[in-house]
Amino acid sequence: MPSMERMEIYRLNDVRDDHSGTVTKNPTYNEAIDPSTSSSKGSPRPLVSSWLPIIHNSLSSLLRWAGPYPAEVQESHLAFMRDVVVPCLKPPAAADRLSYVANHNHSTYEASLAFSSYRPPKVRYSVQPLVDPSPGDPLDRKWLDAFIDSSFLTTEEQAALVSKGAVAAASDASHPLPQSALVAFDLHVNTDKGGKAANTMKTYLFPQYKALITGQKTVDTTDSIVRVLAEGNQEMLAAWELIKTFLNTNSGKKVMLDFLAIDCLAPSKEARSKRPRLKIYFSTNFKSLAAVREVVTLGGLLPRSSANMDFLSEAWPLLMDMEDIPQAEIEDLEKPLNDPTSHYQGVGFTIAVAPGEAIPQIKTCVPIWQFARDEARIIACCQRLSQKHGPTGKFNFGAAIQDAL
């Protein structure tokens, strides 16, 4: 039976209205963000902690529901969130509210669950920092520094880009260009040598501005980043060449490079599972199973067996809410989008390259909310997928999500 290699559920986020600047989720969120709306007596809470109740409530709930996290590990993850993450999330000024780039809802925070056939559910979350990091970072920054240097604009490049009017819709000439970046954390069940809960951090950056100022295509900017990070590693460069070859095909030319991510691990790690990866995220307008097959095999450059086609064929009717459609009609069928104005116009893809690996790893990212008839169908889909393909069949998706909201 084909296994469920990975299923990642993204759902929990908090949203600001793009035009009015108001919060559109619920009264609890309004009270957390704006102390002036709080009904409690006394001095308003510091704005720097306004994200705390939202993130704490959802993460603590998911950590409980996921199952494998001991109580002391749960508390350690929550303490890290309170002490390290939340202080970087001060509420944005009005001009910043359109800068959220994490997801469809333009939220600065998103929680997710990762399911696998070979391990219990893992809780994860991503945030878009809105304040500068503190000095004295003890982490290994070799890859991160190269990544940032290759992606971010210098002050001179920002000024030149604004003067060209190339980003008039994205920035006011009187203000610096927004440097969009995200960080994400995978929360592990084990602890480190100091007894603290272990987590893995990823950093996300966006190469589009660099491409604009240099007059290059985004793929060319990414090529420069890959070569800096690979440091001559032939396997990693070979994997990247496969990706570039595909991007020059008819199907590949319809794929848009959105953003990049790196694992914040020391590049010297020898264990395969600990090697840092460069992940390249693509968006497409592809909505058919046939088009997805083309991408996950890089247009035939990779064998179909490497793409877990059996699982893809079985999961597709659930992911697209097409269980009532005959199998013979599904291959080329394209469902209409629930929200045609969204950036997410079809299936997305994540392609990862790493030192020592000549074959890129490809994941398919289906925005289920674009195709499902309602949220109840989304939960039912996830429940049935886990029951059929993983050890998480007893996990109650509906109850977990409701408890975390």
Has residue 162 been placed in a domain?
Answer: no
Q: With a cut of 70, which residues of the chain have pLDDT below it? A: 1-49, 90-106, 130-153, 161-180, 266-274, 306-307, 389-395, 405
In this prediction, residue 75 carries a pLDDT of 96
3-state SS assignment for residue 298: coil
Q: Residues 25, 96: one domain?
A: yes
Do 326 and 244 fall into the same domain? yes
Confidence (pLDDT) at 94: 54
**In-domain check, residue 217:** yes
Same domain for 400 and 263: no
**Residue 182: per-residue pLDDT:** 83
Question: What is residue 312's predicted lDDT score, i.e. its pLDDT?
Answer: 87
Residues 43 and 187 in one domain: yes
274 and 388 both lie in a single domain? no
Q: Please tell me the predicted confidence (pLDDT) of residue 305.
A: 72
Q: Label residue 145 exposed, middle or buried (CB < 10 Å: 0-12, 13-18, 19+).
A: exposed
pLDDT at 121: 84
C-alpha span between 362 and 258 (Å, rounded): 15
pLDDT of amino acid 157: 73
- The confidence score (pLDDT) of residue 220 equals 87
Identify whether 157 is part of a domain: no
**CA 12/CA 323 separation, integer angstroms:** 26
173 assigned to some structural domain: no
Asked if residue 254 and residue 105 are part of one domain, the reply reads: no
274 and 389, same domain (yes or no): no
Please give the residue range of the domain that contains residue 260.
Answer: 206-373
82 and 186 both lie in a single domain: yes
Residue 15 maps to a domain: yes
pLDDT in tens, 104-118: 666 778 888 888 777
Cα–Cα distances in Å, from 218 out to 74, 215, 225? 40, 9, 11
The tokens 């986020």 sit on which residue? 13
Same domain, 273 and 184: no
Residue 226 shares a structural domain with residue 361: yes
Residues 221 and 367 grouped into a single domain: yes
Kindly state the DSSP code that residue 175 receives in the 8-state scheme.
S
Three-state DSSP state, 110:
strand
With beta carbons less than 8 A apart as the criterion, state whether 117 and 155 touch. Answer: no
Residue 343 lies in a domain: yes
Tell whether 110 is covered by a domain: yes
| 235 and 357 part of one domain | yes
Q: Which residues face 259 on adjacent strands? A: 281
Residue 175 domain-assigned (yes or no): no
**What domain count does the chain have?**
2
For Cα atoms 204, 210, 213, give the angle at the middle one, nearest 5 degrees: 160
